[in-house]
Amino acid sequence: MMLLHRPRRNRQAETLRQMLAETSLQTADFIYPLFLIEGQNKAIEINSMPNIYRLSLDKLLEEVAQCVELGIKAFAPFPSLSDDKKDKYGTESYRKGSLYLEAIAALKKNFPDIVLFTDVALDPYSSDGHDGVVENGIILNDETLPILGKMAVAQAQAGADFVAPSDMMDGRVGYLRQALDAAGYTQTGILAYTAKYASAFYGPFRDALDSAPRFGDKKTYQMNPANRKEALLEAQLDFEESADMLMVKPALSYLDIISDLNQNFNLPIAAYNVSGEYAMVKAAAQKGWIDGEKVMLEILLSIKRAGAKVILSYFAKEFASLRKKA
Ligand code: PBG
């Protein structure tokens, strides 16, 4: 057969395939999410997320020490609060001495070189389980912003390197930038959850934090999975409001959105490989239906290939251990 083009030539040996790989993953690409709970010496595995634990602060510090040893240097802790700490306005979120703020300070004190991305949203602190203040069944936007502002400043003060608003209120990136600057935290960055979709893939996370909405859903603030152009609008606003990084969440069903943001904005793009995406891989692997390790690597690679520079993933530690062994 006379064939001018034979793309298979470039695939004929492993060395060649490695050399020509357009995308590769490194441990430094990852941010590892962590779940913080009250108490001491507690490590409670999350049912739907094998190998992921809710940790008391002492255990969290041990976990971070292990991760740092493996080369993971960036973390995104999330707090899980008992119901008695929750109220309508999420006041625990900026109370000096709160579990989360103490943990941020302890993490930075023990590991000065890590990069800490802290969560800004009302849901872990809210008795309504929503990301904003609720009045008559409506999630209020402008009334929520000052609380997010106080929360972000308190986190910056505790030692956060980046605050990461995951709430999807309008105007919050600009509001947080002003609040941080006014308090003197001009170097504290903002990782914006720019295109955060109202997704069923968050199920295991809400179980982990007991943060499911007490009524309704999050569709009046999180984006409709049907929409692509709207993600560009959200990105434009976050960009203009001075976000330092733009995030897409979830990752796997939203690779087109990651690609769009990467092509249109000159900021690093992050993607959140969320709890449900992790749970699906683990469940199928446990049943022996897929090779969990290979599927993990393929999924992470696809997120990077789509255009994400940074990946928040529960797989970070497993990936780092694999790399360390290799
Ligand atoms: C809420 C928040 C959620 C996640 C991170 N921050 C869930 C939600 O919006 O209900 C989900 C992360 C995951 O599923 O891994 N502020």
Return the closest-CA partner of residue 194 out of 256, 144, 131, 239: 239
Catalytic residue among 59, 85, 218, 249: 249
Q: How far is CA 138 from the centre of its chain?
A: 26
Model confidence, pTM: 0.96
Beta-carbon contacts of residue 77 (< 8 Å; ≥ 6 apart): 33, 34, 35, 36, 60, 100, 103, 104, 107, 116, 118, 119
Report pLDDT for 208: 82
Question: 221: CA distance to ligand 1 center in Å?
Answer: 13
Q: Which helix (H) or strand (E) holds 55?
A: strand 49-56
What sign does the dihedral 218-100-150-251 (CA atoms) show?
A: negative
Q: Which of 86, 196, 282, 317 is catalytic?
A: 196
Residues of the chain with pLDDT under 50: none
Output the pLDDT for position 134.
95
Those residues with Cβ within 8 angstroms of residue 127's Cβ, 6 or more apart along the chain or in another chain: 83, 86, 87, 88, 214
Domains belonging to the chain, first-starting first, are 25-325 (3.20.20.70)
User: What is the C-alpha to C-alpha distance for residues 205 and 14, in angstroms, rounded to an integer?
Assistant: 39
pLDDT at 210: 78
Cβ atoms of 197 and 223 closer than 8 Å? yes
Side chain identity, residue 135: E
Name the residue type at position 125.
Y
Angle between helical axes of 172-182 and 229-240 (0-180°, round to 10):
20
| β-strand partners of 271 | 248, 311
Residue closest via CA to ligand 1's atom 11 equals 202
Pocket perturbation via mutation, ligand 1, pick of 93, 120, 123 by most ligand atoms within 8 A of CB:
123
Whether 196 is a known active-site residue: answer yes
* pLDDT score, position 106: 98
In this prediction, residue 325 carries a pLDDT of 83
Cβ(206) – ligand 1 distance below 6 Å: yes
Residue 136, by phi and psi: left (phi above 0), alpha (psi -120 to 50) or beta? left
